[in-house]
Amino acid sequence: MTDALTELLSTRDWLMADGATGTNLFNMGLASGDAPEFWNIDHPERIRTLYRNAVEAGSDIFLTNSFGANASRLKLHDAASRAFELSRLAAALGRDVADAAGRKVVVAGSVGPTGEIMGTVGTLSHETAVEMFEETAAGLKEGGADVLWVETISAPEEFAAAAEAFANVGMPWCGTMSFDTAGRTMMGVTSDDFVRQVDALPNPPLAFGANCGVGASDLMRTVLGFAATGTERPIIAKGNAGIPRYEDGHIHYNGTPELMAEYAVLARNAGARIIGGCCGTMPEHLRAMREALETRPTGPRPTLEQIAAALGGFSSDSDGTGDTPAPKRERRGRRRS
Amino acid sequence: MADEDDDIILADLNDEELVEQMFDDLYDGMKDEIEDAVHILLDRGWAPYRILTEALVGGMKIVGEDFRDGILFVPEVLLAANAMKGGMAILKPLLAETGAPTIGKMVIGTVKGDIHDIGKNLVAMMMEGAGFEVVDLGINNPVENYLEAAAAEKPDIIGMSALLTTTMPYMKVVIDTMVAEGIRDDYLVLVGGAPLNEEFGKAIGADAYCRDAAVAVETAKDLIARRHNQRAAG
């Protein structure tokens, strides 16, 4: 059976994903430091509203309120054992909203990072990470998610663990990393590295890309980096609505709906097929993005200069790819093995 | 440790060469070599404090600068910090015995609801690497933890970290509580984390926002020096 996302991708040139989860939930009264996932039980109507707002603003895909629904993050709230249950509920509420939408809407089960470090200097083993992701994935599947969607990942080890977990539960999936450090992820992954990792997976994702990070410009540069590899896999662009400011007791992102509309069109021109927002992206941004995507033609791939002119400058000179490798330090000589 | 022809025997190096070699070995995260070199310098009569400042802090400064400049990334910095920790573990008891000065003390933690401690750990390591005494509160700290630690440890600096949009406003809760208790000005408050920026730091009433661990070290040194000057002048 073909999954809902593959089906939509086969009939449409572009799809619009959703916007922010955290920022929207704050506006509904979530207190800072509390786990948003508890609202799947305590305030299911608010979570339905969150989803419905994205759908009504034109999203073809929305992510479930399960970003932190893994054992590692939930243990902060003495709820490590509830990853499955909270994930299942997040997806089930999403299923209700999608099925009532009157058109095909994809419920994407959000899977966030564990927050722990893997690899040689880390504390989290591959096996434990797979187990944790599998628990979340199984809950999302049970709740009726169409696809799984791992996001905001920095480490290739963690991405690989999520992919393996998704294979174990037999679900199609998407995955995005967050490129927030001089054009790379916090762990140093470039756009180019990521494409290579994705292509080499035994169960590659339906689509892959970038989310969150620094701002729309940096994210666009990353998308261009993906496209430059010539990959045929659909690219996802989910950028923040500008940068956060603290105003009148709450967080406000400075990106306007007009800017995000501009970003959406540029992202499509750059080669992204799934376009959405991340932190700070509210329904009014999504509506402006949808309108722009529907009414404006697809243009040529933008240059970095055009991106900077439309969306603002970049946070670093280089994104770590291409012919300008970072200068290496002069060393004294050999290294012992 | 392979014994190839081009191997460097640490003990054969003179002091200056050995310190240079330690810079390289810290950069490459070679813990065993750093530990060996610390022992060699101690045997040669170096004071623990001199080893700390000239070799370890000096080496970590290069790591910090390359991290700041986007040449090194988190995995390399973690390895380097791990190597430095090996050296520090040897020096720490000796430093305590000799009553060596510290340049300041910091209490640091990730705020309530936030598990992401990579950035916080980096700051803690780099601050230690720069000679600060660091008390690490770990992750998920409610405001009470910061206040209790402040009272118990009497630090110069309180550092808060958040990596999520949903947790960053909690920093303001901590600062507001400090203001309400009348202790805000007793400490320098530094904040950091991926979603933050300078404007945010100012808006919530922190002394500074630090973009990364290297900047945190520079800022901490700078603010402590300024505070000393102010106190001397006042």
Domains, chain B, with CATH or none: 10-98 (1.10.1240.10), 105-233 (3.40.50.280)
Q: Does B75 touch chain A (CB under 8 A)?
A: yes
Answer yes or no: do A76 and B71 touch at CB < 8 A.
Answer: no
CA–CA separation, A128 and A161 (whole Å): 9
Q: What is the DSSP letter of A80?
A: G
| Domain A4-311 = CATH 3.20.20.330 | yes
Sheet of strand A235-239: strand arrangement = A15-16, A272-277, A235-239, A207-212, A173-177, A147-153, A106-111, A61-63
* Chain A environment of B27 (Cβ under 8 Å): 329, 331
CB-based burial label for A75 (10 Å; 0-12, 13-18, 19+)? middle
Dihedral sign, Cα of residue A19, residue A20, residue A21, residue A26: negative
Q: Which residue has the tokens 């007793």?
A: B186
pLDDT in tens, B85-105: 899 999 989 988 887 777 899
Tally of CA atoms within 13 A in the half-sphere of B77 that contains its CB: 32
Which residues of chain B neighbour A77 with C-beta distances below 8 Å? Answer: 113
CB A234 within 8 A of CB A61: no
Q: How far apart are CA A335 and CA A195, in angstroms?
A: 31
Place of tokens 């440790």: B1
Q: Can you give the pLDDT at residue B37?
A: 98
pLDDT at B195: 74
Residues lower than pLDDT 50 in chain B: 1-4
Q: CA–CA separation, A26 vs A46, rounded Å?
A: 11
Q: What is the pLDDT of residue B189?
A: 97
Q: What residue in B sits closest to A117 (Cα-Cα)?
A: B118
User: With an 8 Å Cβ cutoff, are B2 and A332 in contact?
Assistant: no
B11 and chain A in contact, CB less than 8 A: no
Chain A hits for B172, Cβ within 8 Å: 246
Q: Any CB–CB contact under 8 A between B79 and chain A?
A: yes
Residues of chain A below pLDDT 70: 1, 249, 323-337
Please name which of B223, B193, B211, B218 lies closest in space to residue B61, comparing C-alpha atoms: B218
Of B73, B113, B197, the CB nearest to A35: B113
Chain centroid to CA A280: how far?
Answer: 13
**Are A133 and A93 within 8 A, CB to CB?**
no
What residues of A form the annotated binding site for Zn(2+)?
A: 212, 278-279
Q: What is the pLDDT of residue B190?
A: 97
- Residue A316 forms contact with B (CB below 8 Å): yes
List, for residues B51-68, the tens digit of each pLDDT value.
998 999 899 989 988 988
For residues A264 and A147, give the distance between their C-alpha atoms in angstroms, rounded to a whole number.
23
Measure the CA–CA gap between B196 and B164, rounded to whole angstroms. Answer: 9
* Count of all residues that appear for chain A in the document: 337
**B-contacting residues of A 255-294, CB under 8 Å?**
279-280
CB within 8 Å: B71 and A335: no
pTM of structure: 0.87
Q: Which amino acid is at A290?
A: R
Signed CA dihedral, B169, B171, B175, B177: sign only? positive
Residue B11 per-residue DSSP state: G
Q: Search chain B and give the residue with CA nearest A156.
A: B75
The answer for A249, left when phi > 0, alpha when psi is -120 to 50, beta otherwise, is: left
For B176, nearest residue in chain A (alpha carbons): A249
Residue pair B1/A336 in contact by the 8 Å Cβ criterion: yes
* Domains of chain A by residue range: 4-311
State both tokens at A259.
Answer: 């800017």
Among chain A residues, the shortest Cα distance to B29 is held by A121
Q: How far apart are CA A253 and CA B200, in angstroms?
A: 11
Residues 16-35 of B with CB under 8 A from A: 20-21, 24, 27-28, 30, 33
